[in-house]
């Protein structure tokens, strides 16, 4: 047992890094120079940040639409007039969620741990024949104490990063066809865990050193770096890419954690952090605000772009982001091919 496992072995202790990392206490945060500062903040809701907006004629895709902030994101975008493509792990979950909101929706099955399912999802979306104005990569996963793998890789990394990497790349033509396409990656301040989180390129399976909370933090850093490199590659185009921290929200993302960890997380979220409508606000804000049309390559929290000065972190590590893109392409090349027929 290594030092990390010794410190985090119990359910109660294992929850501590997630609780601390997902919040912003003890962090030194600044606003990037030259970017607009919004009037919205941690108490704003998704309805607040879209009040007065008419999204009629726009198409949004929201992954993980059946619960939590994904459901609220879909609900509010549809309420404001957007046609929302909502994805769920099963047809029943996607259909039930889409049917329960007011507005125009299309349910699509997406199992991010199954790359063939990601391809089928992209084909279903493409068959609608419409540009995509907003692609919100919201679906997320926190593993339990027993590690699982897919494609020989850590399952959390596969679901949270690689599945979305394939989906976004395959739908780039639809994003580029929009008047102004936006990719929104729901990351987390878990990427700011200490010691400093880095992408472990030579150990993506965590086969000898597994900790579910480090696995989650690692995948959330991958989300942020994917967004950063996507922005660089799309520079000069009509598509932007930004990542964000939604806040600590009491959702079912900790469903695989031990009971005591879920209980502690729930108390923490109830006492100190956001409701689901507040948690969805930054996603919806980044996806819809007119004055962000040319803002790309940034990390947002509480409806504003931020730079985290302390603790040391890799949120804006361009070299690491480029290497992650190259590694992700290598790992998923077969499923990125437009010629793949399922």
Domains of the chain: 3-33+53-334 (3.40.50.720)
Report phi then psi at 285, rounded to 5. Answer: -60, -50
Which positions ≥6 away from 19 have C-beta within 8 Å?
248, 264, 265, 268
CA 207 to CA 204: how far, in whole Å? 8
Does residue 334 carry a pLDDT above 70?
A: yes
pLDDT of residue 194: 75
pLDDT of residue 234: 98
Distances (CA, A) of 4 to 7, 210, 211, 313: 5, 9, 8, 19
Q: pTM for the complete prediction?
A: 0.88
Contact by Cβ (8 Å): 175, 239: yes
Residue 8 banded pLDDT, cuts 50, 70, 90: very low
Tokens linked to 192: 């700011």
Tokens linked to 201: 């390129």
Active site residue 298: no
Does residue 19 carry a pLDDT above 60?
A: no
Contact by Cβ (8 Å): 149, 203: no
Q: Which of 71, 141, 151, 210 is catalytic?
A: 210
């Amino acid at each position: 047992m290594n030092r990390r496992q010794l410190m985090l072995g119990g359910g109660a202790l294992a929850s501590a890094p997630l609780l601390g990392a997902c919040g912003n206490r003890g962090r030194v945060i600044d606003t990037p120079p030259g970017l607009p500062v919004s009037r919205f903040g941690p108490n704003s809701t998704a309805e607040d940040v879209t009040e007065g907006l008419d999204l009629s004629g726009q198409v949004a895709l929201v992954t993980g639409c059946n619960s939590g902030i994904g459901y609220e994101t879909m609900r509010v975008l549809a309420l404001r007039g957007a046609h929302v493509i909502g994805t769920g792990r099963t047809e029943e979950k996607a259909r039930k969620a889409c049917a329960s909101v007011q507005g125009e929706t299309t349910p699509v099955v997406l199992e991010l741990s199954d790359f063939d399912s990601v391809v089928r999802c992209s084909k279903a979306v493409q068959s609608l024949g419409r540009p995509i104005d907003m692609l919100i990569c919201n679906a997320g996963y926190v593993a339990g104490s027993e590690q699982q793998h897919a494609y020989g890789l850590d399952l959390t990394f596969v679901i949270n990063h690689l599945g979305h990497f394939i989906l976004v790349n395959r739908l780039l033509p639809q994003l580029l066809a929009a008047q102004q396409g936006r990719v929104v990656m729901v990351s987390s301040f878990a990427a700011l865990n200490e010691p400093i989180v880095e992408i472990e390129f030579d150990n993506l399976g965590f086969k000898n050193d597994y900790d579910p909370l480090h696995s989650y933090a690692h995948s959330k850093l991958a989300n942020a770096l994917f967004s950063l490199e996507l922005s660089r590659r799309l520079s000069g185009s009509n598509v932007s890419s930004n990542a964000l921290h939604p806040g600590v929200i009491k959702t079912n993302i900790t469903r695989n954690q031990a009971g005591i960890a879920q209980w502690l997380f729930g108390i923490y979220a109830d006492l100190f952090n956001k409701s689901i409508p507040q948690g969805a606000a930054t996603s919806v804000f980044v996806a819809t605000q007119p004055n962000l049309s040319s803002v790309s390559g940034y990390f947002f929290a509480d409806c504003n772009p931020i730079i985290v000065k302390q603790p040391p972190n890799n949120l804006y590590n361009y070299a690491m982001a480029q290497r992650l893109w190259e590694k992700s392409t290598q790992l998923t090349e077969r499923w990125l091919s437009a010629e793949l027929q399922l």
